[in-house]
Structure 1
């Protein structure tokens, strides 16, 4: 009986390995807003749905790191759905408190930007399979606002 279950698991794993899956990538990370409490960055995420049916997104979790330190993290519950055979753009807001930026002075002082690594986990609900998580990440640099940005 155990060998029959193992064969069934291997069969399903082989078939799922060749099935197209949704793909995601970070398109851009840029300054969104500046407040007294934090700086808000906006990550634009492109998600492609290869299926002809809409797929509900359960959640999108993120972790923003700089110099190996996590400076922001969170979860967006129920950000919507992925339309069938389309690419959906998601906006992820990342709030970085000002006191965290103070600890990054060495990196910021060199070129007035924050070198970052953004790790995202998109959890979708696939029919028959159930919850499926797509992990992806992006590295780059985000410019900090200057005094002229604050007064325009």
Structure 2
């Protein structure tokens, strides 16, 4: 093995053993209702092991119910992770009404849907470059009721803003 190969192996080993940010989905809940869609919000907790902030290049998401994709999208340039802290990110997931209506026919009485949310946080790590933190969360979320759709005026339960799609 020559010197260049040894150097490559050394750098690869050091990069593989570097601490990397760790993330988890802490909650997925109904955020708001508009005429076009229903917005769910995923809360993601990300711990940055470095003292410097790390830019987040993009967050991608795919929301599935019974292996069927019901929403997907990207959030470009959502900010950065605070240095040596845990940052709470809020990821809006927008689901068109037409998709929820087709799901509602299959749901039954409990008005819950089983979901799987897949997130990819693409961050820019020094030396390494772009690095994706893959996340996955499974659970149940409530569909909005007719009174939520027609009586609530499209407002979020957390604040008085209208969800946009």
For normalisation by structure 1, the TM-score amounts to 0.90
Which residue of the partner structure matches residue 67 of structure 1?
A: 66
Q: CA deviation at 1:18?
A: 1.9
User: 1:85-96, aligned counterparts within 5 Å?
Assistant: 85-96=84-95
Preserved CA contact (<8 Å) 2:31 2:40:
yes
Distance across 1 between alignment mates of 2:141 and 2:4: 50
Provide runs of 4+ in structure 1 moved above 6 Å.
none
For normalisation by structure 2, the TM-score amounts to 0.84
**Which has the larger share of strand?**
1
User: 1:19-34, aligned counterparts within 5 Å?
Assistant: 19-34=18-33
RMSD over aligned Cα atoms:
1.8
Query: How many residue pairs align between the two structures?
Result: 151
Gaps of 5+ in 2: 153-165
Question: Within the alignment, does 1:102 sit opposite 2:101 as a pair?
Answer: yes
Deviates more, 1:5-14 or 1:135-144: 5-14
Provide the secondary structure at the position in 2 that maps to 1:44: strand
Which residue of the partner structure matches residue 111 of structure 2?
A: 112
**Measured at CA, do residues 107 and 49 of structure 1 come closer, stay the same or move farther in structure 2, by a change above 3 Å?**
farther
Q: CA deviation at 1:143?
A: 0.7
- Of structures 1 and 2, the one with the larger relative CO (CA 8 A, separation 6+) is 2
Q: CA deviation at 1:108?
A: 2.3
Distance across 2 between alignment mates of 1:124 and 1:19: 15
